[in-house]
Structure 1
Amino acid sequence: MRSRLLGMVWFLVALLVFGLGVPLALSVAGAEQQRLFLDRLTDTTRFASLAQRPLIDGLPESLREELRAYSSLYGVDVLVVDKERVPAVGSGRAGEPATIDLNREDVSDRVQAALAGRRPEPGPLLLPWNDRPLVLAGPVLVDGEVRGAVVTVSPTDRSRTRILWWWLIIGAGGVLAFALALLLAVPVVQWILRPVRRLDEATGALVAAVVSGRDVEPVGEERGPPELRKLGRSFDRMAASVGDTLAAQRAFVADASHQLRNPLTALKLRLVNLEGHVDSEAEVHRVAAAAEADRLNRILDELLSMARAENAGGDLVPVDVDDVVAERVTDWRVVADSREIALSTTGSAGETKALVPARGLDGILDALLDNALKFTGRGSAVEVSVSVADERVRLSVRDHGPGLRADELERATDRFWRSSTHQNVPGSGLGLAIVSRIVARAEGDLRLDLPDGGGLRVTVELPAAS
């Protein structure tokens, strides 16, 4: 947008400079031509007056010295012709041919007009690159009768040089005006667009801040046009409202999950205490109710984990990846051994640490290992691999379970979503959603793919601590 605004300003300034400079340059050329024309018209008229008597008396040679002196002083050729277009006397020396060629088109036309009794005209506009001389022809009138004509041919070098200098000055002034306009346009455009840029940055950060549970940084722009400042204040109110609403929602989920655990635990104990005290027909219902209580308890635990992941605030902290991986794999190996699943670890992050929320890496590994062990059959294996590349720590967990269909990979991180082929496996569909929130809070990447040999591989990339 900045480039477009500057382009529009520059175009308008260029149009203004061009629109004013060109007429001014043409006006200067016209004024210089008019000055030269009037000066030569005066001289031509004077010579026409001087030639009256010599042409009547048949003594045109009496004008030669006058014409030679004038030509020598001003560099203008002068020629007097009679009414038959025959040269009578010129500014050249006696016996020399006339210095003006009467057969030239521009000279012939003007002599013809003068012998017809018409006054001289300025001719086309004088331009710096046009070296055509100024030709004027005035009639010699005696008692209203045309007796001949006086022709002057004036060089235009000096006038064209003056016009060129004026044009250079006008051009330099236009360039200077254009440069000044540009210097003024840049800060003005920046002043106009500063609130827009801040709004763009704030809009981009709003989603990340809301998802990660951080406070939304206000625009707080006090510079720029009043309309944009008002828009910035409206955006701050909207962002604060959205943040407060989502925070209240997360707090409600966390509080509700926590408060429900006590009555749910009591309900589960009562169902257990009923064992042996109900008849055989009701026993199956008691067992089903206890199973549903266990399922509800798992859902509440995962809701609490989700609420903690979304409300994780504060700065990211560097975490020793190898230590956390070793600790979590050791704890989950007990579960893997009970299910006859081989849980192994490959690779190492070495001295590189990952930037994650506090206890975030533990939550990621717990959710991924829980899913992997839950969907992997007995006698199979789950592999955890760690590597570092391009200042990113890459952690992946691969199982050999049924996996997902290719069209289900994008939905796997949605809350409470479960594949239609996994409905018989206990779970709530919140594991990968929790991982997704923690990774987003750390500004990392989460990818799911289907490796060769079956199963599902979940890869998490986290920024490395500098």
Structure 2
Amino acid sequence: MRTRLLVVVSVLVVAVVLGLGIPLAMSAAAGSTAEMFTDRLGDTTRFAALAQRAITDSDTAALGAELARYDQLYDAPAAVLDRQGDVLVASRPDVLVTDDPDDGARVALALAGRRSPTAQTIWPWDTRPMLLAEPVLVGGEVRGAAVTVSPTGALRGGVLIVWGGLAAAGLVALAVAALAALPLVRWILAPIEELDAGTARVAAAVRAGRPAEPVGAERGPPELRRLTRDFDAMAATVSATLEAQRSFVADAGHQLRNPLTALRLRLATHAEDLVDAPVAPEVRDGPGAALEEVDRLTAVLDALLALARTEGRVAPPVEVALDRVLDERVGTWAVLAEYEGLDLHRAGARGLVVPSDPVTVATVLDAVLDNAVKYAPPGSAVELTTARVEGAVEVAVRDHGPGLAPDELDRATERFWRKSWEDGGSGLGLAIAARGAERAGAALALELPDDGGLRVVLRWPPTRA
């Protein structure tokens, strides 16, 4: 942002310099042209006056000598023409050799008794000489014209020097403006730069449960300093809120688990007491149904705690060898899969490494495998495959259960959403997997294979070498 502000300031300064410099440059060229025109007009008028006697006396020797001395001194050829426009006397033979039609027009005006109009501004790239013609009048009658042809090299050189000085002054002004603007820009942007540098630290601290380090800018405009103070207050509030949430989840989990365990023991004992008691069947079956509800509530509580741990865990990514994590999870879930009559096996590429967090990856796999084992029918297979697809690393868990409808894929990762309330799930398994995938640096996708079931894909994007 500092560079952009400096560019804006520089553009404004350049606009001011050009707005002042261009008129000054044009004025310098016009002034130099007018000065030379006035000087050469006086010389031409003097030659016209000298030509009166020469034409009257028919003696051009003295006039020729005067024109020659003038040409030698100023390197500006001069001539006197008769009323027909023929050269009467000249300092050099090719004095009127010119390709500019305006020069011929000036000579014609002089022979018509009119004075030379003001010369147009001569620019540094204009190499044409300045030709002036004045009528020679004898007794009020036009008898000829005096002509001077002045080179403009010195004039153009002087204009270039002036323009160079203006350009140098503009560059100096631009440099001074930049040097003066740099401290001002730094002062203006100081709170923003400190806020930008502190945002990442504050975010990491808030997510990790540490107190947020305040930004507290001490420099810069009051409005921006006030912004940093407001940000510090917001970060402190968010940090305190998240800490209170984590504490509540942890405390509630422990506090609820103990009563649930005690309730389950009491119900189990009561169910044993009713085995041989002469009571109605619905009374004898009551503790068993209550035990099922207690187990379901315990499963929901465990899922909530797992979700809270997943959302609260923020760890820097490290190189994770997937083989070790996957083999551990397959070994852990193989026992339950075998008990449920399922074939849990792993296939695909080995030796894959991803930048992630092994604990979070294991949590995601647990949630996905739990979902697959829960819904896969006995006798089917649960497949965990790995592959590298166009540089991306994919870990997929495929089951052959009832799957989902296409319009249910987007809702499947919502918290507490279930395909059916009779399946006994908590509706948090895929929600835990989706949140954990984000923190593992991957994306979770749900796919519907053609032969049924559900395929959950954990995909890490290609990494730059």
- What TM-score range do you get, normalising by the shorter chain? 0.7 to 0.9
Q: 1:404 maps to which residue?
A: 404
Of 155-164 and 309-318, deviating more is 309-318
Aligned mates of 1:439, 1:342 — CA distance in 2: 25
Aligned mates of 2:287, 2:6 — CA distance in 1: 76
**Contact 2:206 2:242 (8 Å CA) reproduced:** yes
Q: 1:341 maps to which residue?
A: 342
Of 60-69 and 204-213, deviating more is 204-213
The one-letter code of the counterpart of 1:426 is G
CA pair 455-216 structure 1, distance change in 2 beyond 3 A: farther
- Deviation for aligned residue 1:344: 1.5
Aligned mates of 1:214, 1:390 — CA distance in 2: 39
Q: 2:16 maps to which residue?
A: 16
**Contact 2:95 2:149 (8 Å CA) reproduced:** no
Of 364-373 and 51-60, deviating more is 51-60
- Percent identity over the alignment is 49
Of 299-308 and 312-321, deviating more is 312-321
The one-letter code of the counterpart of 2:236 is A
The one-letter code of the counterpart of 1:429 is G
Residue 255 (str. 1) matches residue 256 (str. 2)? no
Q: 1:271 maps to which residue?
A: 267
CA pair 274-210 structure 1, distance change in 2 beyond 3 A: same
Aligned mates of 1:92, 1:410 — CA distance in 2: 99
**Contact 1:128 1:163 (8 Å CA) reproduced:** yes
CA pair 202-378 structure 1, distance change in 2 beyond 3 A: farther
Q: 1:136 maps to which residue?
A: 132
- Deviation for aligned residue 1:157: 3.0
Q: 1:435 maps to which residue?
A: 433
Aligned mates of 1:162, 1:318 — CA distance in 2: 71
CA pair 273-29 structure 1, distance change in 2 beyond 3 A: same
Q: 2:455 maps to which residue?
A: 457
The one-letter code of the counterpart of 1:336 is A
**1:33-72 equivalent positions in 2, closer than 5 A:** 33-72=33-72
- Deviation for aligned residue 1:120: 4.0
Q: 2:301 maps to which residue?
A: 300
**Contact 2:78 2:148 (8 Å CA) reproduced:** yes
Of 122-131 and 52-61, deviating more is 52-61
- Deviation for aligned residue 1:269: 3.1
Residue 366 (str. 1) matches residue 361 (str. 2)? no
Q: Deviations over 1:345-387 (max 9, x none)?
A: 2357549586416x43443333222211110111111122345
CA pair 355-390 structure 1, distance change in 2 beyond 3 A: farther
Q: Deviations over 1:125-175 (max 9, x none)?
A: 112333332222334567877665422222223323433454455456656
**Contact 2:37 2:119 (8 Å CA) reproduced:** no
The one-letter code of the counterpart of 1:25 is A
**1:190-339 equivalent positions in 2, closer than 5 A:** 196=192, 225-275=221-271, 276=274, 279-312=280-313, 315=316, 321-339=322-340
CA pair 213-318 structure 1, distance change in 2 beyond 3 A: farther
Aligned mates of 2:319, 2:45 — CA distance in 1: 100
Q: 1:445 maps to which residue?
A: 443
Aligned mates of 1:329, 1:451 — CA distance in 2: 22
CA pair 219-445 structure 1, distance change in 2 beyond 3 A: farther
- Deviation for aligned residue 1:236: 3.0
The one-letter code of the counterpart of 1:269 is L
CA pair 38-317 structure 1, distance change in 2 beyond 3 A: closer
**Contact 1:367 1:431 (8 Å CA) reproduced:** yes
SS of structure 2 residue aligned to 1:51:
helix
Of 204-213 and 312-321, deviating more is 204-213
- Deviation for aligned residue 1:66: 1.7
Aligned mates of 1:104, 1:306 — CA distance in 2: 91
The one-letter code of the counterpart of 1:445 is A
- Deviation for aligned residue 1:10: 5.1
The one-letter code of the counterpart of 2:130 is L
- Deviation for aligned residue 1:340: 1.1
Residue 73 (str. 1) matches residue 73 (str. 2)? yes
Aligned mates of 1:399, 1:21 — CA distance in 2: 78
Q: State the Cα RMSD in Å.
A: 4.2
TM-score, normalised on structure 2? Answer: 0.80
Q: 2:123 maps to which residue?
A: 127
**Contact 2:2 2:186 (8 Å CA) reproduced:** yes
**Contact 2:403 2:448 (8 Å CA) reproduced:** yes
Aligned mates of 2:98, 2:200 — CA distance in 1: 82
Alignment gaps of 5+ in structure 1: none
Aligned mates of 2:293, 2:46 — CA distance in 1: 125
Corresponding pairs, count: 458
The one-letter code of the counterpart of 1:245 is T
Aligned mates of 1:272, 1:28 — CA distance in 2: 108
Aligned mates of 1:245, 1:206 — CA distance in 2: 14
